[in-house]
Amino acid sequence: MRLVLVNTGGVNTFSSYVSFLFKMFQDPRILPLPKILRLPVAATIALLRAPFGYKKYRIIGGSPVIPMMKEQAQLIKELSGCETHIACLYSRPLFEEMLKDKTLSFTVIPQFPHFSFTTYGCIIDRLFAFKRDDVKIAKPYYNHPLFIEAWRKAIMNAYFGEHVLFVAHGIPESLVKAGDPYERQIHETARLISESLNISNYSVAFQSRIGPTSWTKPYTEDAIKALAKKGIKEVMVVPISFTNEHLETLYDLDIELKSLASSVGIRVYKRVRVPYTSQELLKCWISVAQEAVDWRTMCS
């Protein structure tokens, strides 16, 4: 069995970041506009966001996504004996390039534990466009016992009774209203991890909203302020929608949110590292790959 880990991608230069943003906002799942409008809007967003966003990458020392994906692929190969590759939606190595070679069949493992039209949907769109009926896809694993155990262990290594704030990448509320199950699945992951830890002092928040429209709430900054108003002084942040470290964890959580927490009176602020090489996560991916399904059954 040949496996392919798929994520959004990573950048290491300013030009690659501009390209990443342009490709991302060209995606109709990300920017649902008619193509004649989407392309110029995508170009405008990329050019406007790139200078500000790239400063963040320089602060954290560049994107770690691709090196982490390569490490994960090697570890999966060692554990499973399966040839394992990596591919990205918006940066090299591009998933589309892999799909062009129809002599290679494989199973896709999305590095997104939860199903969303903006993640799984983007992968499925490409499989449809290239008519890759020979390719299978792993189902979402947000409630898989091994995924829950990976986070339980990661939390227990640093937990001393703090309020646990589970954080996930947000999506537009319009998608939730359209039937996207992502928000519900995030809450289920938080509940299952909390039950495995036997704790009740937890809450859920969402980060990384873009644009003026309403996204899934509460936003992380509002959640931190609300906890401070309740008199909570110790918080542990757990980024449960990520399977490797991103700009959203290393900068948005470790720098921006930490600074905000300090300014509103949070005395202890911890952020749990993504257990991206844990045996439990790797075995979870191998398990869901073995039970992969025809991607056409997941079409919305």
Q: Domains of the chain by range and CATH?
A: 3-140 (3.40.50.1400), 145-271 (3.40.50.1400)
- pTM of the predicted model over 0.85: yes
Please say if the pLDDT value at position 12 is more than 90: no
Orientation angle between helical segments 14-26 and 35-60, nearest 10 degrees: 140
Tell me the backbone φ, ψ of residue 234, rounded to 5 degrees: -130, 125
User: CA–CA separation, 236 vs 297, rounded Å?
Assistant: 38
> Which residue, among 146, 10, 30, 189, has the nearest Cα to 90 in the 3D structure?
10
Predicted pLDDT at 121:
96
Predicted pLDDT at 1:
87
**What mean pLDDT comes out for the span 51-60?**
95
Tell me the backbone φ, ψ of residue 37, rounded to 5 degrees: -95, -35
State the CB neighbour count (10 A cutoff) for residue 265.
13
Mean pLDDT of the chain: 96
> Which residue, among 76, 90, 103, 81, has the nearest Cα to 4 in the 3D structure?
76
Residues written for the chain = 300
**What mean pLDDT comes out for the span 7-33?**
94
Predicted pLDDT at 295:
94
By CB atoms closer than 10 A (0-12, 13-18, 19+), residue 191 is: middle
Q: In this structure, are strands 163-169 and 234-239 parallel, antiparallel, or unpaired?
A: parallel
